[in-house]
Amino acid sequence: MNDFFIRKSSELHIDLNDVQKQAVVQTEGPLLLLACPGSGKTTTMIMRIGYLIEENNVNPKRIKAITFSKASARDMTERFKRFFPQHSPVDFSTIHSLGFAITRTYMTKIGVSYELIEGGGKGRPALNKTQMLKTLYKQVFRDDCPEDELNALSTFISSLKNRMTPFTEWESIQGPFDKAGEIALKYEQLKTKTEGHLLLDFDDMLTIAEQALRVDDHLAEQFRSRYDYVLTDESQDTSLVQHRIVEHLVAHHGNLCVVADDDQSIYTWRGADPSYLLDFKLVYPDAKLLLMEQNYRSSKEIVETAAKFITRNKDRYVKEMRTDNGSVGPILIKQFDDQKRQLDYITYELLAEQDLQDVAILFRNNASSTLFVNELHRRGIPFYMKDADDKFFSHWVVEDMLNFMRLSFNDERKDIFSKIVMKMNLFLSRTMLNEFLNRETTGNVFEAMIDTVQLKSSQIEKLNDYKEVYKKIPTMRPAQVIRMIRYELDYEVAIKSRAEKFGFRFESLLAIMDTLEGIASQVRTMVEFAHRLKELEEAVQQAKFNPPANALTLSTFHSAKGLEFKRVFMIDLVKGTIPSDEDESDPLLLEEARRLFYVGMTRAKERLELLSYRESNGKTKEDSRFVNEVRAIMTKSDRIENIEKPTKKKTKQVTEVNPNGISDRKALVVGMQVSHHVFGKGEVVEIGEDTIAIRFGKVEKRLSLELILTRRLLEEVNA
């Protein structure tokens, strides 16, 4: 045994700790290996496979390694080749790939043909899941299915299948919106309506595979007999049906190594089942349990704070994450006036960064990325999109805004008018709109509708008001137009009603409009605005699939799992975002949200910044309860105050106004020597419309001019 580790230390310069070595040599029977963030789990798994081959003389083809994603499968395949190039390849694959192999074999055996309705492949399927769900949604609601509703419905169906929920219960389970269960059931009925032929989505590959292994002993033996050892990675993200497939595979020999971290289980919304790990010994009574608690990634401060933070969760294995890494500096917690100040701060920090590939901006919701994409693209800062949020640019709110603008170029366009008139808070019926569209009309659409449709006096009055508003729009800049659409054309009121009807999060819709307004503020015409949106959409695709060198990473917390960076900004950490209002209402969801926050924290190696803001959409925002928890840990408070109901602090520290500070813009000139109350002596190198650039030693800072002048933060000094 020791010879193996000595040999690999010499060949690969890999030295495992005692627990990692135990995980490598504990080859027989079931093993649950709980691996804290940054504990070297992938290296340990590859070394375990190498040990099986070199020390136990196991044929590589008799080893099956199951991963959560294609990227993980590729990474493990490449790492195995690098560590053990002399050996034949091991069977690394995703659980879906394995499920499809079993399903394909079973379908052939029982004589049932099938057609895949998800994914790529040769040719395009005659039917696809997205179109089927849109059609069923329209049949039920007599309305088009918005993109966010479609995504929620698809995730809901996936969750039902992964939890192995019987069809008889689908309609009674609360979905993302009313009648989601009904649509889900209709979808399954549609897929199986042709006798002897099935339409299969990705999740069907799992449910049918599990069924095949359960009911067909001969087929089950066919797949069981292929492998003597099975390993599963990222098992905290594995659903019940996926666990069941693995159970069937190892039923005879029980040689299963499950690598997981219950503290990083963040996918229960799509069917992952972290409780399975907590009940592992109920399924495998003879299982061994090992804890990999040594973190090799992060600084002392980050590891110790994150380790204490996650202990507030109750449904978990007790672990003590620790590190021998040194101190780098405290976690920084910053609260800004608004999102614009947060954006400015990060942008100026990035301008001073040399190694952007070691920096990440992490967020809960993809919508948070668009303002950053706009600013980074405008300033030429290279970035990589871990999650390409092209859905933002096709969102129905964005399309509505563009249609409102398009109508201003030609107020006789009935086709454009028909797309937005139902969102003008007019309380029109679909019958009224159809009557208008079916009538031959000319001229201004507002006047034409008044003349051709029987309306209430209140509706006529509003249409006349809207007509007057449209007379003003052509002379306005895009940001003004968006505000006019929101408030004078009553769009915001209308979508609030729509949000209540369909279960949308109104705050998310407001955030989209705020983002559009921020982008619009930097262009002069509506045509430029439309071009800018198209340009940003293309930039997002470019950043996702062909990112430039030395690019910083933009990612959701979910997609950042498994990654690491020297510096991490966690943004938009406000109540209602993380945790969301829904998270706050359910203890299990709240624990998952805390795990998600923990995942974000543990991506950072040296510098971690937790950022929030005080105001959005004219409303006061409170810090996330998780920020308060971290703050309490850092201040070594015995109790965490204001977590349930944060209140405003009675006192607020402010910088005293310097009586000698510069308050007049005209007093500032390029080249002058100044002193800043925080950064010390510097030289003014540029004065912009809203910002001032000052070089302090070797570092250049770009600061808010308004803040500098109103608070008199600069004082002229002699050279």
Q: Euclidean distance between the first and final Cα of the chain, in Å?
A: 69
550, 342 Cβ separation under 8 angstroms: no
557, 563 Cβ separation under 8 angstroms: no
Any binding-site annotation on 388? no
At 118, give phi and psi (nearest 5°).
-135, 155
Quick count: other Cβ atoms within 10 Å of Cβ 139?
10
Any binding-site annotation on 257? no
- In angstroms, rounded to a whole number, what is the distance separating the alpha carbons of residues 392 and 224? 45
Any binding-site annotation on 443? no
- In angstroms, rounded to a whole number, what is the distance separating the alpha carbons of residues 247 and 588? 26
- In angstroms, rounded to a whole number, what is the distance separating the alpha carbons of residues 116 and 139? 23
- In angstroms, rounded to a whole number, what is the distance separating the alpha carbons of residues 570 and 555? 10
- In angstroms, rounded to a whole number, what is the distance separating the alpha carbons of residues 499 and 387? 25
Element (H, E) at 453: none
Tally of CA atoms within 13 A in the half-sphere of 415 that contains its CB: 1
Quick count: other Cβ atoms within 10 Å of Cβ 216?
16
The one-letter amino acid at 320:
E
- In angstroms, rounded to a whole number, what is the distance separating the alpha carbons of residues 225 and 556? 40
Any binding-site annotation on 40? yes
Contacts of 456 (CB under 8 A, 6+ apart): none
Q: How far out from the chain centre does Cα 46 lie?
A: 29
Contacts of 192 (CB under 8 A, 6+ apart): 198, 199
- In angstroms, rounded to a whole number, what is the distance separating the alpha carbons of residues 533 and 461? 34
161, 271 Cβ separation under 8 angstroms: yes
65, 102 Cβ separation under 8 angstroms: no
- In angstroms, rounded to a whole number, what is the distance separating the alpha carbons of residues 88 and 52? 13
- DSSP annotation of 503 reads T
543 closest CA partner among 694, 390, 403: 390
Tokens read off for 71: 């990227």
- DSSP annotation of 225 reads T
* C-alpha separations of 305 from 126, 325, 381, 561, 598 in Å: 53, 14, 31, 18, 10
- In angstroms, rounded to a whole number, what is the distance separating the alpha carbons of residues 579 and 597? 9
Any binding-site annotation on 42? yes
In 3-state terms, what secondary structure has residue 591?
helix
- Residue appearing with tokens 């409780």: 275
Q: Which residues line the annotated binding site for ATP? A: 35-42
Q: Which residues are known binding-site members?
A: 35-42
